[in-house]
A and B are shown apart, each in its own frame.
Chain A
Amino acid sequence: MGAILVRRLAGAVPILLIVSLITFGMIHLIPGDPAVAIAGMSATAEQVANIRRDLGLDQPLLSQLFDWYANLLRGDLGRSLLLGQPVVQATMLRLPVTLALSAYALVLTLLIGLVSGVIAALRQNTWIDQVAMVLAMLGISLPSFYIGLLMIILFAVDLRWLPTGGYVAFTADPIGWLATSTMPAVSLALLLAGLLARITRSTMLEVLRQDYIRTARAKGLPNRTVVVKHALANALIPIVTVVGIIVSLLISGSVVVETLFSIPGIGQLLTQAVLNRDYPMVQGGLLITTALLVLVNIGVDVCYAMLDPRVRYDRT
C-alpha cells in the first residue's frame, strides 16, 4: 500500500509543477500591462508603479519565476489586493466552509445516487427503473444555480421554511448550519446524484450478470445477501473511482452555489477576486484548490487499491 502511495505522490509532482507554472503564467497572459489591468483604468501612474513593484512585475521574468517558486516552498502565495491579508491565510479561513458544504453535498450525492442506482438495477426495465433514470437524466441536465433559485423561490420565499442565504458555522450552531447549508447542498448534490445513479445502475447490472452471482443464488442464499454481500460490495469498487471526479465537480459547483447563497467559502472568494481583479488571490486560490484535488484523487486511488486486490497485485 505504501508503494502505491509513494508512486502516486511521485506521479503528482510533475502535474503540480505544471499546474503551478500555469498559475504563475496567468498574470503574464493578461493583454497589455498587467499592472494597469490590476490597478484599473482610473489609477494614477504612481498607483500602477506601486502595484508593479509590489507584485514584482518590474523584475525580469526568470527572476519572477524563481521568486514564485521560492515563496511557494515557504508557503507564501502573496497578499490579496482586495482583502489585504496573505492569500494562504484568506484561503485557509474559507476552506472549512467549502469543505463542510462539499461533505454534506457528497453525503447526499452518495445516498441519493447509490440507493436509486441500485434500486433501478434491481428493478431493471420496470417503471421504477424508468422513473429513476428519467430523474437522473433531469438531474444531470439542470444547472445547480437553477435548482438553487427554484428552491429559494419555493422553500425560502413562498413557504419560508429556510433562509434565502447566509451561513452559520457548524461549530457555532449545528441546526443553523443545517438550515443554511441544506438548499446549497441539495442543489449541488442533485446533478452529481444523477451522474452517480446512472453509473451505479450500469455497474450493478454488469455485476449481477456475473457467474459468481448465479452461483450464490444457486447455493440458495437469500436475495438480500446476494445483493448486498456479493453484488453491491463488488459494484462499489469501480464506483469509488468516480468519487474523485465527484469531489472535483463539487468544488467547481460550489463556486456558483456559494455565490448564489452568499456562503463565505473558497468559491465566493475566488469569484470576488476575479470581479475585483485581485490576481494574486485568483492565482493562489486556484493553486491551493487544485493541489487539494490532486491529493483527494491520490487518496481515492489508494482506497481503490485497498478495496481491489487486482490493483495491488498489478503494480509491477
Chain B
Amino acid sequence: MTERKRASPFRTAMRRLLHHRLFILGCVLFGIVLFVAIAAPLIARVDPNKLAMRAKFRPPGADFIFGTDNFGRSLWSRVVWGARLSVLIGGAVVAINAVLGTAIGAAAGYFRHLDNGLMRINDALMAFPAVLLAIAVTAVLGPSVNDVIIALAIVYTPRTARIVRSSVIVLREMEYVQAARAAGAGHWRILRHHILPNAMAPLIVQLSFLFAYAVLTEATLSFLGVGAVPPTPTWGNIMAEGRQYMTDAPWIITIPGAALMITVLGLNLLGDGLRDVLDPRLRIQQ
C-alpha cells in the first residue's frame, strides 16, 4: 500500500499565503518601504539635515522630487531616512517583544505559581492607555530613538506576553506534552521542543500587527514632540514641523503622512493574511 506523502505544514502555509491576494499586496507595500529603508544611503545621498535656505518651500518637481521644507532640506532625503528610522524602531520593538513577550508569557503559562504575579503586573501595564504610557515613559527616560524603542517595548510587551500565555496554557495540558513529561523531559526541553514551536502561529500574527502599532505610535510621539528630538528625520517630526506651513507647503505633511499610511497599510494587510492562514480561529471571515 502506498502512502501519500503529506506536505509539511510550512509548505502548506506558504502555498496558502501565496494565494492570498491581500497578503501579497501587503508584502509588496511593506517590501517597498523595507527596500527604501535599506537602500537609503544609496537612493538619498543628500544629507536629510542639510540646510539650503535659498531652496526652501520648493514644491515637488524635477529638481526636488518631494520638494523641500522650511529650511530647504530635501523632503525626499528626509522621508527616505525617516523610513529607515521607522523600520529600525518597529523592528527593534518587534524583536524585544518576541524575546521578552515569549519569555514572560511562557513562564506565566507554564509555571502556575508564577502565573498570578506575572499576569497581575501584565494586566496593570495593559490598563494604561498605550500612548499615554509611552509618553510618560519617554518623559522619564528622555527623548531619543533608543528611549522611544524602550518605551514602546514596555507598552506592547504585556500584550504579546498575554497572547503567548494563552497558547501555552492550552498546550501545557495536551497529551503529547504530558507524554513528554512522563518520559522524563525537563521543563526547558518541553517548552523549547514541544510547546513554543506550537505557540508560534498566534505570536507571528501578533508581531506583524505590533510592527504597525509601533510605527504608528512612534510617529505619534514624534509628532507630539516627545519622541526622537528634531531635526531627526522621523515622519512624525517632519509632519510636526510642516504643520505651521500647511497652507503654503502642504506637501511637507501629505508626503510623509502617505509614507506612514503605506507602511501601516502594508503591515496590516500582511498581518491579516498571516492570521487567515496561521491562526484561522481569529479570521475576519472572507
Contacts and interface: CB of A to CB of B under 8 A. Distances in A.
Contact of B127 (A15, A201, A253, A285): A15
Interface in A109-142: 137-138, 140-142
B223 to A, nearest CB: 5
Given A256-B224, A274-B139, A279-B139, A286 B127 contact: no
Nearest to A34: B140
A286 B269 contact: no
B1 interface: no
A10 interface: no
A145 B223 contact: yes
A234 interface: no
A256 B132 CA distance: 10
Contact of B121 (A16, A18, A282): A18
B265 A150 contact: no
A198 interface: yes
Contact of B261 (A141, A274, A275, A294): A141
Contacts of B138: 274
Contacts of B261: 138, 141-143, 146
B151 to A, nearest CB: 11
Interface centre among B121, B129, B131, B138 (most CB of A within 10 A): B129
A31 B132 CA distance: 20
Contacts of B226: 271, 274-275
Contacts of B135: 255, 270-271, 274
A153 B129 contact: no
Nearest to A274: B139
Nearest to A142: B261
Interface in A3-40: 14-16, 18-19, 22-23, 26-27, 29-31
A281 to B, nearest CB: 10
B243 interface: yes
A31 B142 CA distance: 9
Contacts of B60: none
B125 A22 contact: yes
Interface string B250-286: 1001100100110011001100100000000001110
Interface range for A: 35 or more
A260 B220 CA distance: 11
A294 B123 CA distance: 10
B205 to A, nearest CB: 15
Interface string A248-268: 110111011001100000000
Given A14-B120, A256-B220, A149 B239 contact: yes
B132 A141 contact: no
A87 interface: no
A206 B127 contact: no
Interface in B113-152: 120-121, 123-125, 127-133, 135-136, 138-142
A290 B128 contact: yes
B121 A149 contact: no
A293 interface: yes
Contacts of B219: 143
Contacts of B140: 26-27, 29-30
Interface of A: 14-16, 18-19, 22-23, 26-27, 29-31, 137-138, 140-143, 145-146, 149-150, 152-153, 157, 198, 201-202, 205-206, 248-249, 251-253, 255-256, 259-260, 270-271, 273-275, 277, 279, 282-283, 285-286, 289-290, 293-294
29 contacts: A18-B121, A23-B136, A137-B265, A138-B265, A141-B265, A143-B220, A143-B261, A146-B253, A146-B257, A149-B239, A202-B283, A205-B285, A248-B129, A249-B129, A249-B130, A251-B132, A255-B129, A255-B132, A255-B135, A255-B220, A259-B224, A270-B132, A271-B226, A274-B136, A274-B139, A274-B226, A275-B226, A279-B139, A285-B132
